[in-house]
Amino acid sequence: MVSDFDFNTLEGKNKEEAFLMFEESARQQYDFAKNNCYSENAKYEYEREYCSIMIGFLEEYDINEIIDIAETNKYYDLPVQDLDNFFQKFQARMKQYVTRFKLRQAKFGLGALIFMQDDYKTKVAEYLNEIEKIVNNQVHDARKKDRIFKLISKLRLEINREKTSVENFCLVLGQLSEAIGEAAKNLEPLTKRLKEIKELFWSSSDFIPLLPKQKKAPKMIEDRSKLDEIDDIPF
């Protein structure tokens, strides 16, 4: 299944976008394989492969809110008679988050503008100050520290704008998370604050509906002969 996926299409995508694209591809390939196999054992192998592919994706993208990775990895040792029950629960969990992420995209689509409430800005400023202090004390690589500080400043700029976009905010927050992950040894207090910033973002931002697209004006026919041809069409 995974050999047919073009991983280049995930470049520049946030975790939720990447999950939706990857899961859809894996599910379509699983459905095709299942519907075209005539062996019960082969069906179980396709189920195992789908689970294995999705678990690998969730681990790589550090999406821990969907499933307990450690618990789910036990499926490798399940006997065949228990695999159906596990797979049904696993698939239901995937569907749940596909729905959740699609609803979130519809509500806060990429490029959609948002206002951030003042209380949120104040709280996030406190969190970023705390992150700066921890990084200053724990990160000794000057280059990595400088990169983190620059991204914190960039995130502050996005938050303090009168309005920003979901895409810009998520991009900078993602870059900051990645930089911290590469530089810091004691990640727990830092990742906790980053997670709180993200959660507050969704709950404390006012979505600005996009303006409806304007209807295009009818195309003018410059060649009079073409207009004559249209007039000659019998109805």
Among 99-113, 159-173, 213-227, the range scoring the smallest mean pLDDT is 213-227
Total domain count for the chain? 2
Q: Structural domain of residue 187, as residue ranges?
A: 113-208
Residue labelled with tokens 């396709």: 46
pTM of the model: 0.47
Q: Is 217 domain-assigned?
A: no
Tell me the C-alpha to C-alpha distance, in Å, between residue 178 and each of 37, 114, 197, 226. 42, 24, 15, 59
Looking at the fold, whether 137 and 55 belong to one and the same domain comes out as no
Q: Please compute the mean of the pLDDT values over residues 67-86 and round it to a whole number.
A: 71
Looking at the fold, whether 67 and 146 belong to one and the same domain comes out as no
Proportion of the chain above pLDDT 70, given as a percent:
71
pLDDT tens, position by position, 119-163: 778 888 899 999 999 998 888 888 889 989 999 998 888 888 777
Residue 180 identity: I
Looking at the fold, whether 157 and 117 belong to one and the same domain comes out as yes
Check residues 168 and 111 and name the one with the higher pLDDT.
168
Q: What is the pLDDT of residue 71?
A: 63
Tell me the C-alpha to C-alpha distance, in Å, between residue 232 and each of 220, 226, 228. 18, 10, 6
- Cα–Cα distance between 170 and 198 in angstroms, integer? 8
Domain end (from 75, 107, 139): 107
Looking at the fold, whether 27 and 75 belong to one and the same domain comes out as yes
Q: Is 10 domain-assigned?
A: yes
Looking at the fold, whether 11 and 64 belong to one and the same domain comes out as yes
pLDDT tens, position by position, 9-43: 888 777 778 888 999 999 999 888 888 887 877 88
Among 3-7, 42-46, 111-115, the range scoring the smallest mean pLDDT is 111-115
Q: Is 228 domain-assigned?
A: no
